[in-house]
Amino acid sequence: QVQLVQSGAEVTNLGASVKVSCKTSGYTFSAYYIQWVRQAPGQGLEWMGWINPNSGGSNYTQTFQGRVTLTRDTSLNTAYMELSRLRSDDTAIYFCGRGGQTRYGLIDYWGQGSLVTVSS
Amino acid sequence: QSVLTQPPSASGTPGQRVTISCSGSNSNIGSNVVSWYQHFPGTAPKLLISMNDQRPSGVADRISASKSGTSASLAISGLRSEDEADYYCAGWDDSLSGHVFGTGTKVTVL
């Protein structure tokens, strides 16, 4: 069955970086985009970006102004989201999800979420 | 702020039908498909509807959805206590070249 398992909770400092992993199984990793979404405390879901595991190409919302880097390791069937220059409002649960076979496809399977707490 | 607007809340008594709207524009709902998610805060969202009105395997047939023009809606019939959750519409936005989520609707079962 399709599974996405994310790395554990992180507590990190203002201005630092955090890297969240998303290990997939149960399907052909390179065939489906990986999407990243976050939810800050008391807020709604916010789409962050996608990565094409086949080509490594990625795109993300301008909200993050180049602070986010999406990568993947096809040998491990794992995608990564790194967020730098962390601010207090980056405290959130970060989710990865299996998107479609094109960038337009929305998430059908989700990771369990990774809580990132930015401490001052 | 999201470009897809939902009512912040909706409610009903057990057995009733609740409908949630999602209002967008020509650059998103008007030209792309819509999905709907159920979300219990702190857990992974669950896909309820894809491709505007398609229920994935395992989703109850009490759940239905439709799209017309630049708006979409989700309906939950035979409301149950376990339906109490947050619900989000989502879709691709051509102007933003990315996905967008709706503002979210909290459903309360009275």
Per-residue pLDDT of chain A (120 residues; tens, 9 = 90+): 999 999 999 999 999 999 999 999 999 999 999 999 999 999 999 999 999 999 999 999 988 878 999 999 999 999 999 999 999 999 999 999 999 998 888 999 999 999 999 998
**Rounded distance between C-alpha atoms, residue A85 and residue A66, angstroms:** 10
Strand-pair category, B18-23 with A109-110: unpaired
The answer to whether B44 contacts A39, with C-beta atoms less than 8 Å apart, is: no
**Rounded distance between C-alpha atoms, residue A66 and residue A70, angstroms:** 11
Selecting from B35, B43, B101 the residue whose C-beta is nearest the C-beta of A44 gives: B101
Give the chain B residue nearest A59 (alpha carbons).
B98
The whole-angstrom distance between A120's CA and the closest CA on chain B is: 23
**Residue of A68, A106, A109 for testing the chain B interface, max B β-carbons within 10 Å:** A106
- Tokens linked to B80: 């149950």
Q: Exposure pattern of B22-52 as b/e (b: 16+ CB <10 Å)?
A: bbbbebbbeebbbbbbbbeeeebbbbbbbeb
Q: What is the pLDDT of residue B42?
A: 86
> Confidence band (pLDDT; 50, 70, 90) for B1?
low
**Residue of B53, B89, B99 for testing the chain A interface, max A β-carbons within 10 Å:** B99
Average pLDDT over residues B38-58: 95
**Rounded distance between C-alpha atoms, residue A114 and residue A12, angstroms:** 13
**Rounded distance between C-alpha atoms, residue A60 and residue B100, angstroms:** 11
Selecting from A37, A44, A106 the residue whose C-beta is nearest the C-beta of B2 gives: A44
**Rounded distance between C-alpha atoms, residue A72 and residue A31, angstroms:** 13
The answer to whether B100 contacts A47, with C-beta atoms less than 8 Å apart, is: yes
Count interface pairs A-B at CB distance under 8 A. Answer: 64
Average pLDDT, chain B: 96
The answer to whether B91 contacts A50, with C-beta atoms less than 8 Å apart, is: no
The answer to whether A61 contacts B98, with C-beta atoms less than 8 Å apart, is: yes
Average pLDDT over residues B82-109: 96
Q: State the DSSP code for B32.
A: S
Which residues of chain A are within 8 Å of residue B37 when distances are taken between CB atoms?
Answer: 45, 107
Strand-pair category, A114-119 with A10-13: parallel
- Half-sphere exposure of residue B68, counting CA atoms within 13 Å on the CB side? 5
Which residues of chain A are within 8 Å of residue B99 when distances are taken between CB atoms?
Answer: 35, 47, 50, 106
Does residue B2 surpass a pLDDT of 90? no
Q: What is the pLDDT of residue B68?
A: 97
* CA triple A48-B54-A60, angle to 5 deg: 10
**Rounded distance between C-alpha atoms, residue B20 and residue B75, angstroms:** 6
Give how far the C-alpha of residue B39 lies from the chain's centroid of Cα atoms, to the nearest Å: 10
